[in-house]
Structure 1
């Protein structure tokens, strides 16, 4: 696919309770402002606040903070001992959880990529937790260095998920996570890794950095990023974490993945020597965008939108917007659609090490939704930006992203030390991915509660690391079916398929025979009330068993095995395919009889028993649904 890289999974934590890609899009579509005063688990702003720029003080009260308690971490889920977890930077803890969620969002069971050549590229700009934990020195433990060193932001992910590809943390200030995504994409193109996990993180645990930016006059007194607006007076610091899962486009298509968007290419540059190390360079930004278009093999005129750095500073916005218009507005006329520009920083502030990936997530969602959300706090255009001359437009409402051609968009991120990044993304034609539910996924109701063979039901599987987690999954499924898919039968069946085949199964498991979404909700509510169901089976996987693979062996033990596995051979296409492949192997050895015929056609017990003289079926099973189903069929055929 000419070096194109697909974004197949997204995980995130951003201000405003944005914990999923769905939350992220809802925030954008609704145009919410998510900045707030610091939560109770941080610091008291009243101690540090002063209305004027004063040494040791900060003049803004609001920033973008996560709603969750960043010091809470499910260490048991990752099997991390208490003392080690206590010395593990919350930024690393946050990324472990978000990485898991990104993989599951991609339909990749995290344990399925153990030992794989998967790369990890993470942007990070601070380690305030180290400052919190090393005073007095008696607090330092054997885990302090390994838990707080910035290299561990990436390496801990590789360790916990057992990934063997390249792994490193990147600090280029505010462009760190976009650098990470670009380097990860390039590594995939070069073959350095077969898949990559890329993103960034930023947490504001101490007031010191904010005080420093206040002393530099960079922050907005009201804690709002008023991107491209005449009232822009500085940016708002924020925190968050974002992760994207990247694959070669060709492999994503082969794997049947959902593709949010495709990274065509991009580039990295530096401003070099400017009048000040933190000052943006107009010429450098011209050069950056032009080189990115060349790398992506895209004519600048065809770019329709740019997710800009857009921090809401007078000089920064003016420099960036005019540079974008100069390069991307080239060749446009008044009759052409405008170049739209926007910035997610207007919603929740500048997340610094996690800012670039926030822009990529926004852009990927926009492309997949075919909509451009409005820029919050934009009302009066910055008079220093040549909007009309350059045919640039900032959306003030939710815009439908129309047109017949491929959607093309750019994403910029600038580090305040001069490290710049720009990536170009494109849409990918939506496909009707056929999530076939095999006939063996249907269980005759006659096997339960006296139903007829004409009525069919489907296996629904849930799992969790603990019984409490499994109970929470029951509640989430009820909400998902009721609120999200709204009892849509097709989406319900696809969801069951994905849950069974493309999610990680944990030790506490539950399988329910259901007939459609309404029946599922009824039964889930009964289980929530801890009522027993004949059509539900639960249990715990024995210690260590989840690391192995499941095989069924039909060895033949006499006439009591007549017709053994016949139902599987007739109804289960996966089983039948394995038998046919095994038969091909036997044919090469000169065997002159057919296993398939004996299972599906023969009724002579002597001939049937010949198939029982060998172990003819060994196949790996993925997921409880298939385990339960095969066991059910096995019992029925004894």
Structure 2
């Protein structure tokens, strides 16, 4: 059973389908799906999340609205954890034509948020998400907390002078309600991440709405810094809100305010001197504000407001507060004692050896940059142990200090072998050997003894070969808190329709399309003609040629000595004196050969590289669904003359299992040819 995790995603445009329409106009029937719901739904499907799964479009306020709905879902108990954010890509010229016709695009090629002469924005691409939990749960789980969302609100601007004309009163209202929900005094707010598209009239309207709310509580001037990430990275549209939130969280993390660019000369339609705001024009310390409350000075935590306003009138605002020093002290009660003694077990894993090296390089670079101290070492170890998926290629090492960890990673990256207290291994290559070891009923007790006595060498060696380790047993009831570490170095692969066709046909392509191929070749991606494992029957035979949609990999004919058998079959068929139903004797095929061809054909159906398909991994985990499963089974039946139903993939859920079943069916169901 999965977890009640919600997924909320802001998205707009969905223009990828236009490429399919272009192909249809050119006489090539190619349909492309472009359902935004799948952005959220596929995440829920892949991870088996059972909470709400929603993709929404409120234009430029989409991602902040998604975060608002996720917070509501958490408060109402619809989910225990939520992932919320947004994505924005510019993938078709139609988008720029549309923005140009509407006079939305900057004539200068940049966003001049609050700057003089701004006349539009430049679209930015981006994707971002945050993991949301109730504060108490995050502290109890020892999570790295970047900030606390204190309040959120969403509304619409109603009827204005034009569909895309903002309503300052509605903007003020959504900000006011957000702060009321957060129980925050505007005077304690020290930073505003504004929508700030950089237009002559849009920016003044936004400042007017903000000032209206602030001035309800205080008449002080220019105490709150304001800026916009759009001046740095462009307007990420449906991902603008998550971009702003990410900026605020990073500013909280480093205790600094970054400059808003292109604002050297401020918009002359805004009298900043008579507002609570000052445009942040240089890098500066983010100081906690000291405010007089009931005649006494009080220091407040760093608090920020974040705005996103959609062109269709949907306004969103959230209030974020730093995870204060007092809160951190409370959280430390749940963390491990500083008296942790001895080396720690550092584990890294990746899909393949190349990615593992990149993983090590990333951690090494962070250590070399001085991001971590020896006091962080146990948190680094714990985060890598319980906060990362254990993949096929693995590395484990012992380190008593960051310096030692850095030295061993450097040796590994440089290609040295035989490094002291460092183990390497692959799960797939050692599956049978590990199963034999773990079949010993005394092995579990032995492993527990190794952990208790600190004998980590053998444990690391077995882990790199696939042993499942309950890392929590290392720490007892008091566990370390997690720490922010470098993320996985995903391979940069292109998946544009028409550029490679199926994954199996993209050998030799890197980051650019091969311009030597014609458009039709790029779109159709017809697999090369291959020589089948089994001999083809004459034209009248019931077993037809290879299916159009699936190419089965050829194997060397001489390996199975099929040439002579094929000649005999054809000769027998051509010299028959009278038409009759003949049985063709199917040559015996080794289980290894069947597995190899099934692996190649399944990779083709699932748009995967052949080396990504593990014969011991279940079809469901590989990504097979009812449609791809039916396509694959039909191809197998045509190739081997069987009548297997698609439901057999559930009875024999791996290639290894299915190959055995297929071999038995081939023996019991010889191929026949008609007169």
TM-score normalised per structure 1: 0.64
2:320 to 420, 425, 447: 425
Q: Is the 8 A contact 1:508 1:541 kept in 2?
A: yes
1:176 aligns with 2:24: no
Q: Is the 8 A contact 1:326 1:390 kept in 2?
A: no
Q: Which residue of 2 aligns with 1:204?
A: 90
Q: Which residue of 2 aligns with 1:117?
A: 4
Q: Is the 8 A contact 1:120 1:198 kept in 2?
A: yes
Q: Which residue of 1 aligns with 2:402?
A: 517
The alpha carbon displacement at 1:189 in A equals 0.7
Q: Name the count of aligned residue pairs.
A: 445
Q: Is the 8 A contact 2:309 2:316 kept in 1?
A: yes
1:501 to 367, 386, 397: 386
Aligned positions of 1:159-238 closer than 5 A: 159-238=45-124
Please give the alpha-carbon distance, in whole angstroms, between the structure 2 residues aligned to 1:303 and 1:207.
41
1:402 aligns with 2:287: yes
CA RMSD after TM alignment = 3.4
- Secondary structure of the 2:49 match is coil
Q: Is the 8 A contact 2:185 2:217 kept in 1?
A: no
Change (3 A) 1:301 1:479: closer
Q: Which residue of 1 aligns with 2:308?
A: 413
1:297 aligns with 2:201: no
Change (3 A) 1:509 1:413: same
Q: Is the 8 A contact 1:322 1:386 kept in 2?
A: no
Q: Which residue of 2 aligns with 1:379?
A: 264
Change (3 A) 1:484 1:164: farther
The alpha carbon displacement at 1:435 in A equals 5.1
Q: Which residue of 1 aligns with 2:336?
A: 436
Change (3 A) 1:139 1:267: farther
1:283 aligns with 2:169: yes
Please give the alpha-carbon distance, in whole angstroms, between the structure 1 residues aligned to 2:64 and 2:128.
11
Q: Is the 8 A contact 2:58 2:310 kept in 1?
A: yes
TM-score normalised per structure 2: 0.61
Residues 216-267 of structure 1 show CA distances to partners (whole Å, capped at 9, x for unaligned) of 2222111111111122221111111111111111111111111111111111
Change (3 A) 1:226 1:554: same
Please give the alpha-carbon distance, in whole angstroms, between the structure 1 residues aligned to 2:335 and 2:186.
38
Please give the alpha-carbon distance, in whole angstroms, between the structure 2 residues aligned to 1:193 and 1:260.
21
The alpha carbon displacement at 1:161 in A equals 1.7
Q: Is the 8 A contact 1:485 1:492 kept in 2?
A: no
Please give the alpha-carbon distance, in whole angstroms, between the structure 2 residues aligned to 1:174 and 1:399.
29
- Secondary structure of the 1:375 match is coil
Greater C-alpha radius of gyration: 2
Residues 412-436 of structure 1 show CA distances to partners (whole Å, capped at 9, x for unaligned) of 1011010111111111214264753
1:135 aligns with 2:35: no
2:153 to 267, 292, 297: 267
Change (3 A) 1:556 1:464: closer
Change (3 A) 1:159 1:568: closer
- Secondary structure of the 2:317 match is strand
- Secondary structure of the 1:499 match is helix
Please give the alpha-carbon distance, in whole angstroms, between the structure 1 residues aligned to 2:364 and 2:67.
35
Q: Is the 8 A contact 1:188 1:195 kept in 2?
A: yes
Flag structure 1 segments of 5+ consecutive residues without an equivalent: 1-113, 443-455, 573-618, 628-638
Flag structure 2 segments of 5+ consecutive residues without an equivalent: 289-298, 456-466, 476-675
Please give the alpha-carbon distance, in whole angstroms, between the structure 1 residues aligned to 2:51 and 2:431.
27
- Secondary structure of the 1:417 match is coil
Change (3 A) 1:127 1:562: closer
Please give the alpha-carbon distance, in whole angstroms, between the structure 1 residues aligned to 2:235 and 2:406.
41
Please give the alpha-carbon distance, in whole angstroms, between the structure 2 residues aligned to 1:568 and 1:625.
8
Higher relative contact order (CA 8 A, sep 6+): 1
